[in-house]
A and B are shown apart, each in its own frame.
Chain A
Amino acid sequence: KAGVTQTPRYLIKTRGQQVTLSCSPISGHRSVSWYQQTPGQGLQFLFEYFSETQRNKGNFPGRFSGRQFSNSRSEMNVSTLELGDSALYLCASSLQGITNEKLFFGSGTQLSVL
């Protein structure tokens, strides 16, 4: 069974630009959640999608948005990039997204904002 796939692996953007990251979950998994990881703040929850609907949201500004397609693939968009958005962005999938399920993480997209 293929794991969680995130593309691209690395991305370099400049301030003010926007970026779209992609996440393909494990086949059959309907929940996809997104996280930002930085050395200073650690791993922080962005949002979770289930059956094309955003079900939970972390404490990030509206510049961070996402969506999920009918095949459970998800995209995350960051508009008007800031230097502080440089981070490793991780997505994770699970079957139903309930609390006592395992989360399976992708290898992440390393975003650098110059």
Chain B
Amino acid sequence: NAGVTQTPKFQVLKTGQSMTLQCAQDMNHNSMYWYRQDPGMGLRLIYYSASEGTTDKGEVPNGYNVSRLNKREFSLRLESAAPSQTSVYFCASSGFSAGANVLTFGAGSRLTVL
């Protein structure tokens, strides 16, 4: 039972480099999300996708792009990484459970931008 799988788990980038974080879920969920987690700030939504073919900005979208490749996969791209994007990134998907929409999270991807 894999749930939500993220790759890579760790990545170090230099300022200006680009990279893509991959996320896949095997729960047949329609909605998928990308959050970033910073100390003392909880989780903040970067982008989300309510269904295949749609994406929308969250609270902190600047500097990121996303692609909902199919129902299973939702990737996050940093085109030109900045030190302010050093963070832990979480992918999540959501499905209904007992009357409420419940998020299932991946294990996280720790990104350091030098």
A and B: bona fide binding partners = no
